[in-house]
Amino acid sequence: TTADVETLVEVAERAAREAGRLVHEGRPERVAVAATKTSPEDVVTAMDLASEELLRRRLAELRPHDGVLGEEEGYVPGTSGVTWVVDPIDGTVNYLYGRPAYAVSVAAVVGPAGAPDPATWTVVAGCVHAPADGRTFRAGRGLGATLDGRALQMEEPRPLPGCLVGTGFGYRAERRRAQARVLADLLPRVRDIRRTGSAALDLCNLAAGQLDLYYERGLGAWDLAAGLLVAQEAGALVTGLRGAAPGTAMTVAGWPARAAELVRLLEDLDADQDG
């Protein structure tokens, strides 16, 4: 029901804000260079773990019968049919360098038994909280999406050559070579490309009109869940290639007609293949 969805959105926001505070206030001043005792990467990993632990603790307290899937500690099933899909820090490289484009992403999903899968889940509530730039995106299925309480509604963008397109890259060299090849074909056909470094924020920025389109290959469920709902509730089509659901193979998001155009282009470029 609407009240149930509203409750889940409240829980998502409360958990995301709390973890966001921990991550933001706990970031050492000069984490990127202060590599005396541990490496900067270790600091980030430790904060990822601490943030996920806090999320799990708070969700267990507020929603004791729900399951949780998190980037760091995997899937713990529940009994209620609701599973929380959490990313304790989305945009860890930005976090490492003190760049503000990182966020805590918390979503509630329902679907078949087992670990949540973007091919079969329904995301019902989500919050993406970016503590360093002080923005909070919320969405409830059927209830719309907001940024800091203001309703988000996408507008029809310009034709493709005028579109600002967000994307992201995987971490492995072979995947990156394939992604660079796709980019070489795409870049001359669009206004410009942005690589923000947080998939969750890319989807939210799309909802807020700061991007016209977004695509990325290789997303994890935790990168995708909350941002997907924010984008959908703001009017975006979020889809995969060749009729597939959005997910690891490919996620494309944007104003429906324009997203469909980008899907066709990415299909022609075999953007879902490494070869």
Confirm or reject binding of residue 199 to ligand LIP (CB under 6 A).
yes
42 marked as binding residue:
no
193 marked as binding residue:
no
**Where do the H-state alpha helices sit in the chain?**
2-25, 40-62, 92-97, 173-186, 199-207, 221-233, 256-268
- Which of 18, 66, 72, 223 is the binder for ligand LIP (CB under 6 A)? 223
The nearest distance, CB 71 to ligand LIP, in angstroms, is 6
**Helices 221-233, 199-207: crossing angle, 10 deg rounding:** 0
The nearest distance, CB 167 to ligand LIP, in angstroms, is 8
Q: Which residue carries 């924010």 as its tokens?
A: 230
Confirm or reject binding of residue 92 to ligand LIP (CB under 6 A).
yes
The nearest distance, CB 49 to ligand LIP, in angstroms, is 13
Site for ligand LIP in 3-62 (CB under 6 A): none
Instruction: Report which residue type is found at 136.
Output: T
Confirm or reject binding of residue 205 to ligand LIP (CB under 6 A).
no
- Cα distance between residue 140 and residue 149, in whole Å: 13
Which neighbouring-strand residues pair with 150? 147
CB-based burial, 229-241: b 16+ in 10 Å, e otherwise: bbbbbbbbbbbbb
Which neighbouring-strand residues pair with 193? 165
The nearest distance, CB 236 to ligand LIP, in angstroms, is 17
Residue positions forming the annotated binding site for Mg(2+): 71, 87, 89-90, 223
Which residues sit at the interface with ligand LIP, rule CB under 6 A? 71, 87, 90-92, 168-170, 197-199, 216, 218, 223
